[in-house]
């Protein structure tokens, strides 16, 4: 087991708010949390490789759902949460906050590598402030590593071409190219669109070149696959467990850290032994795998009472086995926005914000002192927020 200690700067104590719907400016309601004087927070401690168990005492936790290649919506969600500067400089403003992004950055949009680059850049900045950024791989990450490109937009193929060319300019220095890509990707995209011949008769050839570039980056052992391999499929932060689809009792029995390690090794093109499966089935394939499971995300209005009780029992068994208070999942777009069910034991935070999905307004989940609330924009300008506090005795 690997243990990493992240030392924070002097901290803050979260304010308390009445349990009601209220409106406030993002700068006041969110960023003020980091400016209130208080005692020094203990360091963030990370166990597992990739990260599996995280102790982040006293931290505000923000969870963001599926982004699907939409850089504009990703930035809006992060700005709304008080984590990203609004001046276009992509600076971390979250102080000691812990950000968890629940996967499906890939597919359905054209700025996938740019979003991954932004999150990595923010992680570097956050650690210097006593915070951290974690990512969880979703089913679209595992699909792409398997070579399943069904949901890839043409612009995303071209981003792969541009990125490989930029990597060559950086003399194959992956770290330099990947972290700085967020700063050059939009320029590359504009240059590409200005090309008169870009959408000409050679478009098919360009697409084939894009498929090759994507395959090179995302095949097991590829540079981008190895980057994704640094992320877990299941992450436990304090008393909360985060995964893309949903965790089940047999997943916990199999071993959370074991699953994370096997998926990571597969993405790196490694194998733990002759009997190890080439693709970690329990985590990445099948309707009840960690990244595909929708058991907790289905609309309970379509279920009978006995089915609701069964699902609730499975969820409680899972949480007890993993030692968690609640689970946070993405994967299944929630047309009603971020919501919780089963006595607030499950939080569903995929709102389909990407223009390639539902093009809905961004929403994020904020956790303070083990209490969760939803932060959403009041208008498209994102200058005003609605914040909804939830109690633990919400609806089933």
Report how far residue 141's alpha carbon sits from residue 152's, in angstroms, rounded to the nearest whole number: 11
SS3 content of the chain, % helix, strand, coil (to 5): 35, 15, 45
Closest CA to 112 of 175, 178, 168, 51: 178
In contact, 161 and 206? CB cutoff 8 Å: yes
Name 239's Cβ contacts closer than 8 Å, sequence gap at least 6. 323, 324, 325, 326, 370
Phi-psi region of 113 (alpha: psi -120 to 50; beta: other; left: phi over 0): alpha
Report how far residue 229's alpha carbon sits from residue 33's, in angstroms, rounded to the nearest whole number: 33
Report how far residue 115's alpha carbon sits from residue 105's, in angstroms, rounded to the nearest whole number: 7
Catalytically active residues are 140
**Tokens 């490989």 sit on residue:** 164
Name 328's Cβ contacts closer than 8 Å, sequence gap at least 6. 63, 100, 102, 240, 241, 242, 243, 346, 347, 349, 365
Strands 44-47 and 3-6: antiparallel
In DSSP notation, 186-197 reads HHHHHHHHH-TT
Report how far residue 235's alpha carbon sits from residue 386's, in angstroms, rounded to the nearest whole number: 28
Name 74's Cβ contacts closer than 8 Å, sequence gap at least 6. 64, 67, 115, 118
**Phi, psi of 253, deg, nearest 5:** -65, -35
Report DSSP state, residue 47: E
The four Cα atoms 93, 45, 362, 119 give a dihedral, to 10 degrees, of 70
Tokens at 122, concatenated: 């923010």
What are the Cα distances from residue 111, in Å, to 58, 70, 181, 354? 34, 6, 11, 11
């Amino acid at each position: 087991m690997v243990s990493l200690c992240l030392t924070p700067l002097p901290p803050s104590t979260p304010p308390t708010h009445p349990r009601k719907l209220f409106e406030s400016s993002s700068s006041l309601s969110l960023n003020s949390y980091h400016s209130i004087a208080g005692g020094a927070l203990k360091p963030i401690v990370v166990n597992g490789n990739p990260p599996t168990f995280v102790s982040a005492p006293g931290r505000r936790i923000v969870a963001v759902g599926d982004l699907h290649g939409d850089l504009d919506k990703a930035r809006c969600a992060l700005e709304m949460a008080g984590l990203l500067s609004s001046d276009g400089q992509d600076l971390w403003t979250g102080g000691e906050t812990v950000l968890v992004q629940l996967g499906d950055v890939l597919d359905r949009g054209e700025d996938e590598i740019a979003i991954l680059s932004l999150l990595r850049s923010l992680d570097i900045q956050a650690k210097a402030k006593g915070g951290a950024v974690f990512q969880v791989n979703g089913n679209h990450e595992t699909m792409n590593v398997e070579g399943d490109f069904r949901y890839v937009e043409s612009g995303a193929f071209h981003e792969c071409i541009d990125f490989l060319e930029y990597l060559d300019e950086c003399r194959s220095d992956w770290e330099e190219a990947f972290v700085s890509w967020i700063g050059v990707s939009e320029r590359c995209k504009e240059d590409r669109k200005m090309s008169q011949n870009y959408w000409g008769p050679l478009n098919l050839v360009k697409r084939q070149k894009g498929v090759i570039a994507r395959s090179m980056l995302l095949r097991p052992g590829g540079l981008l696959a190895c980057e994704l391999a640094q992320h877990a499929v299941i992450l436990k932060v304090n008393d909360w467990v985060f995964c893309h689809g949903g965790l089940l009792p047999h997943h916990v029995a199999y071993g959370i850290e074991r699953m994370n390690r096997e998926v990571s090794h597969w993405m790196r093109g490694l194998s733990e032994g002759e009997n190890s499966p080439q693709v970690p089935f329990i985590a990445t394939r099948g309707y009840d795998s960690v990244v595909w499971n929708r058991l907790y995300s289905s609309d309970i209005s379509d279920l009978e009472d006995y089915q609701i009780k069964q699902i609730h029992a499975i969820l409680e068994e899972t949480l007890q086995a993993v030692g968690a208070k609640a689970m946070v999942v993405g994967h299944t777009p929630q047309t009603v926005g971020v919501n919780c069910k089963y006595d607030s034991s499950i939080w569903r935070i995929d709102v389909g914000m990407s223009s390639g999905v539902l093009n809905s307004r961004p929403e994020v989940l904020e956790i303070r002192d083990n209490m969760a609330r939803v932060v959403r924009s009041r208008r498209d300008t994102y200058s005003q927020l609605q914040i909804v506090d939830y109690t633990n005795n919400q609806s089933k």
